[in-house]
Chains A and B, each alone.
Chain A
Amino acid sequence: MATHSHSRLPKLVEGVDLRALPIGPAEAFVLSRVDAQASEADIAEATGIPLESVAKTLEELCMLGAVRFEEPERESRNPRKPSRPSGAFRIGPIVEASRPQETHHPAAALYDPSELLEAADLDDARKRSILETYYKLDHTTHYELLRVEPSADKRAIKSAYYEIVNLFHPDRYFGKNLGKFKAKLEQVFSRVTEAHDVLTRGASREEYDAYLASRRKTNELISVSESALQAEADAIRKKIEDDARALSAPPIAQTNSLYPEPRIVDAAPNSQRVSVRPLDPDERKRALARKLGRSFSPTPTPRPSVPAISKVEAQGHAVDELKRRYEQRITQGKQQHVDRYLETAQQALATHDPVAASNALRIAESLAPDDPAQAGRLQDLKEQAGGLVANHYLQLAQYEEREGKFADAAASYQRVAQAKPTARIHERAAYCGLMAERELRSAGEHARRAVALAPEDAQCRVTLARIYVAAGMKQSGLAEFERAAQLAPKDDTIKEWIRRLKRGEA
């Protein structure tokens, strides 16, 4: 596990049943000091437990989902995103290309620099390029690996392959001591050859391109940023406002052809006419009262009928009317746009395009339709789109799991879990994370959710237990296995695990 600076601030995760945690007194002691105020170092000082132990215990509690750290998430190493631009253009041999990338690419973090010290008859640049390529193998597409564009023809692919082979074939270094680099070179070579073989055979390239397209689609889903969508929604809102302003300004005649004249708008011309009338009934009464020499108390009349309006009053009324008209138009414009986006989404759903559908829906949603019918339809389409996206990811996840690309599969299952948070999906996400032997923390998270959703499912508990064991938390693992054993008392696999853990074998 990576080393952490010990300035982190642990906080309790809300809603966790602390009593149900598979922990011992030592962990509980540390846990009792977690108050969202004390840092790791503070806790160590307060408890007298060495800082390393505190950190370790907190890590474990974090794995168990009881504690989280208050610190910005480290830049997630989503394998697909950073490598995308780098492979888009051919930038010459890998040795040269890999250097400038170091500065902005997290390539340096791909391997432990001490691996460069590994004894081998290779210069540092060569070692670096081998390590960089080796540790990127799981995350690059065949095109990126060969450094060709996806549109490259067979000839270009072959030529690129020959060039790379010259760098990475172990025979290049025959008789030299390659140490651990030999196996790495062989693996790089084997992967490069696979890429070449897939891309130079028509049928297999088509199949692979289809997979890539599907992956790209899902990547688009990930990469369409909230802010871009927000910006688009804002632009639409502004347009609606501009349109409404333009429309609500006189002259009316012009607008008639565009919008049917709403009835209320008639009030304005009426008020104009009122002002030209000599006197209204109240005025006449007053005049009569003056003549009669007694006071006049006007009869309370409902507002519309009241106006004995001055010129200023008449103008104020007109502004109100304009404002109402304007708002009316905005509502209408919004409804129209929402309708349009809902329509787009529906069409996208019909053609099984989850990206277009979900983008359209997100914009529609950000326009906040208040029409209940529209809101209902939006909700309905959102569910459909969610299902489509989830299906898409599920297919990807299954393909990746089958191909043994567990890290990718784990990521895809996690996406599925967002739309279909079932125990089964969470369990798969956790299992693939476990098999990928990385991101154990998020694997643990999914396994816990799976257990929460299906507390009676032994399989979910076994996966969680195995994740605990993989994270070095044998006691927690054992506790979870024992719970699983209660659920499935006949399962020898679980018994065997328990036996091994008790004997300290695993």
Chain B
Amino acid sequence: MERVIGIDLGTTNSCVAILEGDTSVVIPNRGGYKTTPSVVAVTEAGKRLVGHIAKRQAITNAENTVYAAKRLIGRKWNSPQVKNAIMTSSYTIVEGPHADVRIKLRDKNYSVPEISSMVLQEMKIVAEDYLGEPVKKAVVTVPAYFNDNQRQATKDAGAIAGLDVIRIINEPTAASLAYGYGKDLDRTVAVYDLGGGTFDISILEIGSHGVFKVISTTGDTFLGGEDFDARIIDWLVSGFQDEHGIDLRQDRMALQRLRDAAEKAKCELSSVRETEINLPFIISTGRNEALHLQRTLPRQTLEKLTSDLVERTVDICRQALSDAKLGVEEVEDVILVGGMTRMPAVQSAVSGYFGREPNKSVHPDEVVAMGAAIQGAALVQDRQDMILLDVTPHALGIMTFGSHFEELIPQNTTVPTSRTKVFTTSRDDQTAVKILVMQGESKRADENELLGEFILTGLRRAPKGHVEIEVTFEINTDGIVSVHAKDMETGQAQSIQVTATSGLTQDEIKNMMTHAQDYLLERRTDEHFEAAKQEAETLIAEIERLFPEIERVVGSADFGRDAIAKAKVTVDRARNAIASKDSNLVKEQVDQLARTQRMFKGVVSRG
């Protein structure tokens, strides 16, 4: 049976897991860490860095280091979220060819799915190293509140990374799987997921027969740990401005240092009552005078700075329960997910609202990937002990006359589903209608997300309101939306499969896939070369160490001189091979070197 990995592609950190037997196991990366920073950088030499190594060099390479790309994925260039990101990011965001977003790194523009694919590829490699076999299939998680364009962009990122994303599932839902899988529970739970960039709340019923049914889900895709960090940065920047009259935001390197310091301080304040922020030589004045930043941040201050953010999450929880038509007392357990839930103020707000202590049995950083791995295994296994019933997080509908949004599939409808509604023409003698498929909760169409459009033509001429058009929306298990429009009297029909757009064309995706594969090949070759080079260098050092002794023992004999000369040639060849950066050549020389070394050792031990 083919193995399916589960990947939690987070805003700040990513995590990969796999089901081993009946337990979901988080796979550590080469550094031994169970999560990998979702950071991608390109060095001056054009080398790509992903994860911890990318994060570590961020300060010295701020303009070419991308973090929190998830906040941009599937977004349109002119969306307020992108405008906001342009203001606060240390990297350069430019407009793409399809009104999408591109990130400029070392004179090359990368699409957001491409950046995310680099992180996914890294997670894939982590899993392959652990399993010792290639991995092709994955379940990737996204915030529940992601719209279809964002989901599609994530799927594209998977494809670029060479992964067949067999299912996109929601992060809080995944967390509930990890929480309830194999336990034969029967209860209603709330999953409070405050991650690096997004906030989700889902209300679920975990029932007999391994059924996990989401009742309602809602959230905010621009509310997360980054916003908490931003409050600390604001606080530091404005304090510095007051003191020195200098705006630290103007300096990208300073901003990156502030960002790191803010995140670190925030994490520390989860366990201590106050923390010191110390950034020497943060900036220099015009007269070459270095300025330092040093401030103490008490937990209380942080809580005051961020109290409205926490309050917002509680409001969203209230909304989720009202959508689920449940009272807060009907929730039998609350699961906390995401690093931000370590913050004491968040925990007390949650227990205050739900009237119970949240469950601490799951690891907030790892539980989502674990759940994704469970879903992946459940899908491909024949023995199926789990069924996940998720809902559409957003209403689906069409735009009608006067730019109204007419909903067909309401929010929180269990998928797969289909709904039909009859519409009429809005003008006399109208012979065609344009069906604009939209997603969102606003009554005004232009405030919702456009998913796709098509035109139904060949309507007969008739007074307005006389032609009836039956529109059917269908969402299948894979989350694909199909829309079917039919003239009810003539039977004239038109339908499309709405493929949400990530802002990339199929050709672009194909191209990027090739690039990613090239990179992988290069990287693998690099790795092989590095390993061979190391081996060769060790052997060379060993041989050279033995030269004087060999000279002493057999240097007087002809065969000895001959052997020494041969060994010298071998070492030179090996050095040349290393210089040529050809890992195959180096490998060949490694064999020769090893033979020489063995012979030398034999001579020395006899002598």
Residues of chain A having any CB pair with chain B under 8 Å = 158-159, 161-163, 165-166, 169-172, 174-175, 182, 186-187, 189-190, 193, 197, 201, 404, 466, 491-493, 496-497, 500, 506
Chain B residues with Cβ below 8 Å from A506 are 490-491
B388 CB, min distance to chain A CBs, angstroms: 7
Question: Looking at B205, B325, B477, which has the most chain A CB atoms within 10 Å of its CB?
Answer: B477
B425 CB, min distance to chain A CBs, angstroms: 11
Distance between Cα atoms of A162 and B389 in the complex (Å)? 10
Given A171-B388, A172-B384, A175-B380: A166 touches B211 (CB 8 Å cut-off): yes
8 further A-B pairs in the complex, CB-CB below 8 A; given A174-B379, A175-B379, A193-B417: A158-B205, A159-B208, A169-B389, A186-B477, A187-B418, A201-B325, A492-B462, A493-B462
Distance between Cα atoms of A174 and B166 in the complex (Å)? 10
Establish whether residues B387 and A193, one from each chain, have CB atoms under 8 Å apart when the complex forms.
no
Distance between Cα atoms of A372 and B211 in the complex (Å)? 68
Establish whether residues A162 and B209, one from each chain, have CB atoms under 8 Å apart when the complex forms.
yes
Distance between Cα atoms of A165 and B467 in the complex (Å)? 39
Interface residues in B350-404 by Cβ distance below 8 A to A read 378-380, 384, 387-389
Establish whether residues B211 and A492, one from each chain, have CB atoms under 8 Å apart when the complex forms.
no
Residue in B477, B489, B490 whose beta carbon sits within 8 Å of that of A170 in the complex:
B477
Q: Does B601 contact A (CB under 8 A)?
A: no
Chain B residues with Cβ below 8 Å from A497 are 489-490
- Chain B interface bracket (under 10, 10 to 19, 20 to 34, 35 or more): 20 to 34
Chain B residues with Cβ below 8 Å from A189 are 416
Distance between Cα atoms of A166 and B462 in the complex (Å)? 49
Distance between Cα atoms of A186 and B472 in the complex (Å)? 15
A343 CB, min distance to chain B CBs, angstroms: 47
Q: Does B134 contact A (CB under 8 A)?
A: no
Residue in A166, A175, A193, A492 whose beta carbon sits within 8 Å of that of B209 in the complex:
A166
A37 CB, min distance to chain B CBs, angstroms: 42
Q: Can you report 15 A-B residue pairs in the complex whose CB atoms are below 8 A from each other?
A: A165-B387, A169-B389, A169-B477, A170-B416, A171-B388, A174-B379, A182-B476, A190-B418, A193-B389, A193-B417, A466-B489, A491-B462, A492-B462, A493-B462, A493-B466
Establish whether residues B420 and A404, one from each chain, have CB atoms under 8 Å apart when the complex forms.
yes
Establish whether residues B477 and A163, one from each chain, have CB atoms under 8 Å apart when the complex forms.
no
Q: Does B231 contact A (CB under 8 A)?
A: no
Establish whether residues A493 and B460, one from each chain, have CB atoms under 8 Å apart when the complex forms.
yes
Distance between Cα atoms of A172 and B477 in the complex (Å)? 11
Establish whether residues B379 and A165, one from each chain, have CB atoms under 8 Å apart when the complex forms.
no
Distance between Cα atoms of A273 and B466 in the complex (Å)? 91
Cβ-closest chain B residue relative to A505 = B490
Chain B residues with Cβ below 8 Å from A161 are 211
Distance between Cα atoms of A193 and B429 in the complex (Å)? 41
Chain A residues with Cβ below 8 Å from B380 are 174-175
Cβ-closest chain A residue relative to B379 = A174
Residues of chain B having any CB pair with chain A under 8 Å = 166, 205, 207-211, 325, 378-380, 384, 387-389, 414, 416-418, 420, 429, 460-463, 466-467, 474, 476-477, 489-491
Residue in A171, A186, A201, A466 whose beta carbon sits within 8 Å of that of B387 in the complex:
A171
Given A159-B207, A162-B207, A193-B414: A496 touches B387 (CB 8 Å cut-off): no
Establish whether residues B460 and A492, one from each chain, have CB atoms under 8 Å apart when the complex forms.
yes
Distance between Cα atoms of A161 and B384 in the complex (Å)? 17
Distance between Cα atoms of A162 and B209 in the complex (Å)? 6
Distance between Cα atoms of A491 and B211 in the complex (Å)? 55
B552 CB, min distance to chain A CBs, angstroms: 70
Distance between Cα atoms of A179 and B206 in the complex (Å)? 31
Establish whether residues A165 and B416, one from each chain, have CB atoms under 8 Å apart when the complex forms.
no
Distance between Cα atoms of A491 and B416 in the complex (Å)? 41
A186 CB, min distance to chain B CBs, angstroms: 4
Chain B residues with Cβ below 8 Å from A166 are 209-211, 387
A185 CB, min distance to chain B CBs, angstroms: 8
Cβ-closest chain A residue relative to B488 = A435
A400 CB, min distance to chain B CBs, angstroms: 15
Residue in A175, A187, A197, A491 whose beta carbon sits within 8 Å of that of B414 in the complex:
A197
Given A187-B418, A492-B460: A169 touches B208 (CB 8 Å cut-off): no
Chain B residues with Cβ below 8 Å from A169 are 387, 389, 477
Cβ-closest chain B residue relative to A500 = B490
B310 CB, min distance to chain A CBs, angstroms: 31
Distance between Cα atoms of A59 and B489 in the complex (Å)? 24
Given A169-B389, A193-B389: A496 touches B490 (CB 8 Å cut-off): yes
Given A170-B477, A172-B387, A492-B461: A190 touches B209 (CB 8 Å cut-off): no
Establish whether residues B211 and A186, one from each chain, have CB atoms under 8 Å apart when the complex forms.
no
Given A493-B462, A493-B466: A186 touches B389 (CB 8 Å cut-off): no
Cβ-closest chain B residue relative to A203 = B325
Cβ-closest chain B residue relative to A159 = B208
B88 CB, min distance to chain A CBs, angstroms: 40
B456 CB, min distance to chain A CBs, angstroms: 15
Given A166-B211, A193-B389, A500-B490: A186 touches B414 (CB 8 Å cut-off): no
A188 CB, min distance to chain B CBs, angstroms: 10
Establish whether residues A165 and B211, one from each chain, have CB atoms under 8 Å apart when the complex forms.
yes
Cβ-closest chain B residue relative to A164 = B209
Establish whether residues A165 and B209, one from each chain, have CB atoms under 8 Å apart when the complex forms.
yes
Chain A residues with Cβ below 8 Å from B418 are 186-187, 190
A275 CB, min distance to chain B CBs, angstroms: 90
Chain A residues with Cβ below 8 Å from B384 are 171-172
Cβ-closest chain A residue relative to B470 = A404
A125 CB, min distance to chain B CBs, angstroms: 17
Cβ-closest chain B residue relative to A169 = B387
- Top 4 A-B pairs, shortest CB-CB distance: A496-B460, A186-B416, A162-B211, A174-B379
Cβ-closest chain B residue relative to A172 = B384
Cβ-closest chain B residue relative to A204 = B325
Chain B residues with Cβ below 8 Å from A492 are 429, 460-463
B125 CB, min distance to chain A CBs, angstroms: 25
Chain A residues with Cβ below 8 Å from B491 are 506
Chain B residues with Cβ below 8 Å from A174 are 166, 379-380
Distance between Cα atoms of A171 and B389 in the complex (Å)? 10
Distance between Cα atoms of A175 and B461 in the complex (Å)? 46
Distance between Cα atoms of A222 and B230 in the complex (Å)? 71
Distance between Cα atoms of A169 and B390 in the complex (Å)? 12
Establish whether residues A163 and B209, one from each chain, have CB atoms under 8 Å apart when the complex forms.
yes
Cβ-closest chain B residue relative to A163 = B209
Distance between Cα atoms of A159 and B207 in the complex (Å)? 7
Cβ-closest chain B residue relative to A183 = B476
Chain A residues with Cβ below 8 Å from B429 are 492
Establish whether residues A162 and B476, one from each chain, have CB atoms under 8 Å apart when the complex forms.
no
Chain B residues with Cβ below 8 Å from A201 are 325
Chain A residues with Cβ below 8 Å from B490 are 496-497, 500, 506
Distance between Cα atoms of A476 and B213 in the complex (Å)? 53
B415 CB, min distance to chain A CBs, angstroms: 8
Distance between Cα atoms of A345 and B477 in the complex (Å)? 54
A248 CB, min distance to chain B CBs, angstroms: 69
A198 CB, min distance to chain B CBs, angstroms: 12
Distance between Cα atoms of A500 and B489 in the complex (Å)? 12
Chain A residues with Cβ below 8 Å from B489 are 466, 493, 497
A101 CB, min distance to chain B CBs, angstroms: 23
Residue in A163, A190, A496 whose beta carbon sits within 8 Å of that of B416 in the complex:
A190
A208 CB, min distance to chain B CBs, angstroms: 15
Chain B residues with Cβ below 8 Å from A165 are 209, 211, 387, 389
Cβ-closest chain A residue relative to B420 = A404
Establish whether residues B208 and A162, one from each chain, have CB atoms under 8 Å apart when the complex forms.
yes
Residue in A171, A182, A466, A496 whose beta carbon sits within 8 Å of that of B379 in the complex:
A171
A28 CB, min distance to chain B CBs, angstroms: 30
Establish whether residues A171 and B211, one from each chain, have CB atoms under 8 Å apart when the complex forms.
no
Chain A residues with Cβ below 8 Å from B466 are 493
Cβ-closest chain B residue relative to A470 = B491
A155 CB, min distance to chain B CBs, angstroms: 9
Distance between Cα atoms of A170 and B415 in the complex (Å)? 10
Chain B residues with Cβ below 8 Å from A466 are 489
Distance between Cα atoms of A166 and B388 in the complex (Å)? 10
B485 CB, min distance to chain A CBs, angstroms: 16
Distance between Cα atoms of A466 and B474 in the complex (Å)? 28
Chain A residues with Cβ below 8 Å from B388 are 171
Distance between Cα atoms of A253 and B325 in the complex (Å)? 74
